[in-house]
Chain A
Amino acid sequence: MDALASWTRALRADIIRMIAAAGSGHPGGSLSVIDILAVLYAKHLRHDPKNPERPERDRLILSKGHACPALYAVLAHRGFFPMERLATLRQLGSPLQGHPERHRLPGVEASTGSLGQGLSMGLGMALAAKLDGSSRRVYVVTGDGEMQEGQIWEALLAAPKFRLDNLTLIVDANNGQIDGHVSEIMPLDPLPDKLRSFQWDTRCVDGHDLEALDQALAAIQTVRDRPQAIVAKTTKGKGVSFMEDQIAWHGKAPNKDEVEKALKEILGG
């Protein structure tokens, strides 16, 4: 876990550098989701950076596509593409688009960014795995603000019907959205109760506790006949004190001083 913790610090630093270089982007949600992605890629998601289209890989869909700096950093660190490319985020012609696009970047399983669509696509991928008699799993990461989209609830209703135990929803519950806190803009709680009533195997976890995330992701592997949901309680901007739970940091780039301060906090020294 120490190595993993050290990796998440390097990933957080890259997120800050990328968004600063781009001059725009979404640091808050990227920093809240990064521990989830790190544990998934390090310990659970079967993937092959040298053969990103290998049919028997697991699938990860980042439905909250605006947090793609987090996904890009993880993919680069895992070797899907050279690290230097991270500096091209949001530039004309870059495969690192402002929101992820599968045709431009290896490792991106689905183009997202229009919130609420990822779980439906994950449902389709999970159905395909069942049709193929394959053990591959599908993980869909949404934001809690994103759960306000109606299409999400259509997908939540459908997955238990098809007994998709190969489908896992992870909610990055950072309680933030552009206009304010989720609890104010359109309250979602009690989210775990709602998910359970939709017949999802549901557990709650501290989304920055690497050990707890690892255990939750291990536990869901044994669930049969039901899709699983992990509500990961997170903090927007986690790891950078002046960004934490600050709605203003949903979608803006840090300036030079702020980058310096942020990197110092993340990397220490």
Chain B
Amino acid sequence: MGEATREAFGQALVALADRFPELVVLDSDLSKSTMTAEFAKRHPARHFDLGIAESNMIGAAAGLALSGKIPVATSFACFLVGRLETIRVAVTLNRANVKLVGTHAGLGIGDDGASQMGLEDLAAMRALPGMTILQPGDGLETRQAVEWMLGHQGPVYLRLTRQKLDDAHRPDYQFACGKADVVWLPEPLPKNFQATVFASGGTVGGAIAAAKGLLPKGFAVRVVNVGTIAPFDVDAVEDCAKDSARLVTVEDHNIVGGLGSAVCEAAAMLGLAKPVVALGVREMGESGTPAELYERHGLSAPHIMAACIKNLA
């Protein structure tokens, strides 16, 4: 196993602190979980713990941004999106250069259960004009995404996992905002694919495992990592639809409003005559291990394999 994307985020903040002197970090009593504690320890004057008061933290971040700082405000994904009204006005309407970092995304938080699971955050954030949404699929991508985010002028939502993720990228990977990237291709390269699977964050590893599992069964499947949810890479959908019999999406998020919706919207707008099989969470979450929950809620490799090959009558 590799590392949790929240861990890579915490390390990146420390590594980039000197390069971005205007960087400040805001927390709401979860710095040990969102992995900002090390930054806080090393740069106490640039760290503000606002206590268990996320709305105020987000508003304060907007004020800092309007005064030229680069504020990174963190909490669990669910607690950030719960303050959508403050994000909508203080951040979005102000076009404030605020970086919101929601960790413990989705079912992947595991045994803490439903109230701690951010499963609606992508849907809400996608509805905010000007909000860039990043969901890296491994530690390497996270480090580069954080660096890009700090240099970018404008609001960003970075969605991170509690659970450790396998490395999805080769060491020479280069992050590009707004670009989906292929993380798995069968060899030899087929002329046509049974499916292209679009995955993001916590589901990328399962998608690659599914593609590997289908190869000996004679099914060629490509896996695309969608590291940027907004602006969405419509071209990637168009390109992959050309040589794939179907598109499959898999996300640790409610089935409404996230990656699956983005792919369906792109396919419909482009007039692509290709079926989309969307895997996502359809209920409130519950307690369990991440692996158990991914299995129970239809996001695990066996479910992805089935989505790639099941009869679409």
Contacts and interface: CB of A to CB of B under 8 A. Distances in A.
Interface string B40-51: 000001101011
Contact of B63 (A116, A128, A162): A128
A101 B88 CA distance: 13
Contacts of B64: 124-125, 127-128
A110 B66 contact: yes
Given A131-B69, A157-B51, A120 B88 contact: no
Contacts of B165: none
Contacts of A157: 51, 53, 56
Contact of A120 (B45, B51, B65, B90): B90
Interface of B: 24, 45-46, 48, 50-51, 53, 55-69, 71, 85-86, 88-90, 93-95
Contacts of A119: 59
17 contacts: A59-B67, A114-B86, A117-B86, A120-B55, A121-B59, A121-B63, A121-B66, A123-B63, A124-B61, A124-B69, A127-B24, A128-B67, A151-B59, A154-B51, A154-B56, A155-B60, A162-B48
A102 interface: yes
A114 B71 CA distance: 22
Nearest to B86: A117
A128 B89 contact: no
Tell me if B's interface is mostly helix, strand, loop or mixed: helix
Given A154-B53, A158-B50, A124 B66 contact: yes
| A109, A110, A112, A126 interface centre (most CB from chain B within 10 Å) | A110
A111 B89 contact: yes
Interface in A84-124: 101-103, 109-114, 116-117, 119-124
A229 interface: no
Contacts of A23: none
A85 B64 CA distance: 30
A120 B86 contact: yes
